[in-house]
Amino acid sequence: MTFKTPLVVKLSKHHRIDARSLIVYRNVIESIFLKGAGVVIGFLTVTLTVQFISVKDFGIWMTITFLTSWFSLVDVSFGNGLRNSLVLFFDTGNDAAAKNYVSTLYFLSGAFALMFCVIFGTLHFFLDWTSLLNIDSDQPALINTIITYTLISFSIQLLLKPINSILLADQRAAAVAWILLIVNVAVILLIYAASVFLHASLVVIAHIYNLVPVLVFGGVSVYFFRTTYARLAPGISYIDVSLIKKLVTISGQFFFLQLVSIIVFTSGGLFISYYLGSNSVAPYSIANKYFSVLPFLYGIFITPYWSAFTDAYIKRDTRWIRATIRRLNLICAGMAILALLMLAVAQLVFSLWIGHKIQVPTSLSIWLTAYVISFIFLSNYNYFINGVGQIKTLVQASLVGIVLYFPLNYVLFQFTNAGPASVVIAGTLWNCFLLVICMRQYRQIMNTLSHEPANYALQD
């Protein structure tokens, strides 16, 4: 699912780009087309969804999706713990060890998936989600069922998504982009078909969003483990119990970091629903969708660098690391200018995109611009630190930050007139705090790497 474009070939011949950068650029160029298509499809999907169901139901569905993003962090955490180890195995050709790690990861993922299914299934009979999330609905029983159904679907996806980590460790980020594009295309086609042949229903939307990823990731996993990664295909006999502690320890650190990230970066809708009601979620969701295009586009550039940083760290290629960070910071500066241009035309875009059904405050757009700029600069150093596995300082800083994050949101919502922008202000302050920590950690790691003995490798 990757190709070498003439542009990349030409650059490699005339400017002698190293093999690591060549792989990154190849993934970036292909991902531009794939993720660009995904952005367009994402906007069209929102438009179709708003036209298919009421604004009220759309706000409810956005609240549900914010909730489910909290529980998807387990998949990401396990995957990140495996990803760094697999880069080392791919570099050394140690397929036997890689197969043991993959099999053990799938065992852990399956155990957690089963546990979550049981927990969410049980909570359905005792917990009123609509009251907890302050969801205004005249069918609370139906909404509770949809939430439980969606959470169970995400639990099943936990078992199916480690294939993404394998592809990313093999520096095939474009292949992951292909998978996501397939999911998005299937979703929008089914929503369009539903709008033509079915009555408006939140249940239909839930079926589409819950079943499509399960089917796609299941099919993709079978395909890759029968072809490209047949040598790594998980098997019961290859589960290594002795690896569980190591995977859980590494994944536990990533889990905590991802938990904090989920709370800060994706919980906006939940905070807004809790403090202001679910009707206030829709404007935030629309504005966030618009401005999140920039972090999404920047993700095209930064995603392949995680494993590239791991590879460079293992090989002690400090010159490449420093040059890459400088180049990424220049790209961020360009993205910041683009963010300001997006702010200037935001209201025009909103009116053309969704009409006048949903009004987005200008103050919300301004703070989202600040949030996006701080986020993309943070990404450079965050990806480097995660890629080399030196995340202890990040864990400690995140622990302090998250303790302050909840009271900060409370103060902003209760004692200011910022409205939905309150959660964005808190997130922006969090980004700036973490950026300072990450830049300091980057300098320390590079200084240490320049003076450590030659056998310096990934931290366990």
**What is the per-residue pLDDT across 300-348, written as a single tens digit (0 to 9) for each?**
778 888 888 888 888 888 888 999 999 999 999 999 999 999 999 999 9
Residue 65: HSE in the Cβ half-sphere, 13 Å Cα cutoff: 16
CB 237 within 8 A of CB 96: no
Per-residue b or e along 65-97, where b marks 16 or more CB atoms closer than 10 Å to that residue's CB: ebbbbbbbbbbbbbbbbbbbbbbbbbeeeeeee
Mean pLDDT of 167-176: 84
Q: What pLDDT shows up at residue 77?
A: 58
DSSP 279: G
**If pLDDT is split at 50, 70 and 90, which confidence band does 3 have?**
very low
Instruction: Quote the DSSP letter at residue 94.
Output: -
Q: Is the dihedral of CA 9, 11, 13, 17 positive or negative?
A: negative
First vs last C-alpha separation in the chain: 32
Q: Which residue has the higher pLDDT, 221 or 79?
A: 221
Are the CB atoms for 398 and 454 separated by under 8 Å? no
Helix (H, G, I), strand (E, B) or coil at 127: coil
pTM of the predicted model as reported, rounded to 2 decimal places: 0.70
Report whether pLDDT(452) > 70.
no
pLDDT at residue 4, as a whole number: 43
Average pLDDT of the residues in 236-260 = 82
Residue 11, pLDDT score: 44
Q: How far apart are CA 84 and CA 306, in angstroms?
A: 9
Identify the residue whose tokens are 């791919």. Answer: 90
**How far apart (Å, rounded) are the C-alpha atoms in residues 73 and 69?**
7
d(CA 91, CA 46): 42
Q: Per-residue pLDDT for 73 more than 70?
A: no
